[in-house]
Structure formats: structure tokens, C-alpha cells
């Protein structure tokens, strides 16, 4: 992944651009505009208002929020760029959570992998429960047999044809 600085200030990434392979370069500023500020602000507020930090009454500056957004985008670009390179090596076209985990390990973010794996497992369990709930709902609400449903459908078709023929 290529990072190019247009400024001498190493901490100012707002004018930095990125590009992966033959993908066009996009400025951090352009990408930051894609992230809703309300979303970033809500995430930061939720974190600082957790029981662990709430009693500290922490204030957050606009500059901090802007930098968190910029650095978050840079981190996402790094992860996505590395994942793209990995799937290209594997001759695949889809990035999965396994690729993200592999990249996090390669980049020595090993401490975050167990948490990420737990989140993935929890999400998969929630999805499975939701699918089971939907299936049970469908089974419960389809007390009418398929044969009876077909008869009802045929009756509705016949009624429709009769109405159509009577209007001629």
C-alpha cells in the first residue's frame, strides 16, 4: 500500500493519498467525508460513557475526533489493502473475516484477534438464532398444508378469471 504525503507535517494525513495496485488514489479527506461525523461522535461518546470511564467526565475536542477519524481511515486502508494483496496471492475474489484475522496477526495486532474472534462467533450465533426463529415462525404459521394452499391459489385464479370474463 502506498502512502504519499503532500505536506511536510508527518502528523497531518488530511492531504495524504492512498492507492492499492491499479486502484485510483483517494485522499484521506475525501474518505473522511464518507464517514458520517455523527457516527464517529456517537462511537466516541459511547466509549467514554461506559461505566469504566463515565465517572471521569472526559471531554473530547473536535481536533481529537478529526484525528481519530483520519487515523481510523488510515488503519482501515492498511487492513483492506493488505487483505486485497492476500486474496490476490490466494487467487480469490472475496475478503473474509479469516483474511482480516490473518492480516492482524501478520501486522502484530495479535492482542485484538481473540476479541475479534469472539465478536465474530457471537454474531454468527445471533444470526443462527435469528434464522432458527424465522424458520420456526414460518413452520408455525403454515399450519395449512401445501396442498390446501395450492387449492386456495387455484380458487383465487378461477375467481379472477371469472371476474375478467364477466367484464367482457
**What pLDDT score does 140 carry?**
66
What does the pLDDT look like over 92-105, one tens digit per residue?
999 999 999 999 99
Judged against a pLDDT cut of 70, whether residue 151 lies above it is answered with: yes
Compute, in degrees rounded to 10, the torsion defined by CA atoms 53, 73, 87, 24. Answer: 170
pTM of the model: 0.60
Number of CB atoms found within 10 A of residue 62's CB: 9
Q: Which of 66-70, 118-122, 137-141, 160-164 is modeled with the greatest confidence? A: 118-122
What does the pLDDT look like over 128-141, one tens digit per residue?
999 988 877 776 66
Q: How far is CA 6 from CA 12, 77, 149, in A?
A: 9, 18, 67
Q: Which of 73, 81, 84 is nearest to 39 (CA)?
A: 73
Compute, in degrees rounded to 10, the torsion defined by CA atoms 77, 79, 81, 85. Answer: 180
Distance CA 17, CA 21 (A): 13
Give the residue-averaged pLDDT of 144-159: 87
Instruction: Say which residue, 160 or 134, is predicted with more confidence.
Output: 160
Is the separation of the CB atoms in 20 and 81 below 8 Å? yes
**What pLDDT score does 137 carry?**
72
Amino acid at each position: 500500500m502506498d502512502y504519499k504525503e503532500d505536506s511536510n507535517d508527518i502528523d497531518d494525513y488530511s492531504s495524504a493519498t492512498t492507492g492499492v495496485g491499479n486502484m485510483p488514489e483517494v485522499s484521506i479527506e475525501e474518505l473522511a467525508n464518507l464517514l458520517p461525523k455523527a457516527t464517529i461522535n456517537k462511537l466516541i461518546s459511547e466509549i467514554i460513557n461506559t461505566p469504566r470511564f463515565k465517572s471521569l467526565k472526559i471531554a473530547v475536542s473536535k481536533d481529537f475526533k478529526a484525528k481519530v477519524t483520519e487515523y481510523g481511515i488510515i488503519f482501515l486502508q492498511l487492513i483492506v489493502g493488505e487483505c486485497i494483496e492476500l486474496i490476490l496471492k490466494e487467487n480469490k475474489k472475496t475478503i473474509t473475516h479469516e483474511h482480516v484475522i490473518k492480516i492482524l496477526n501478520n501486522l502484530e495486532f495479535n492482542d485484538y484477534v481473540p476479541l475479534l474472534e469472539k465478536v465474530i462467533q457471537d454474531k454468527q450465533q445471533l444470526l443462527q438464532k435469528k434464522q432458527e426463529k424465522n424458520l420456526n415462525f414460518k413452520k408455525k404459521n403454515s399450519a395449512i398444508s401445501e396442498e390446501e394452499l395450492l387449492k386456495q391459489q387455484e380458487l383465487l385464479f378461477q375467481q379472477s378469471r371469472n371476474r375478467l370474463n364477466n367484464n367482457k
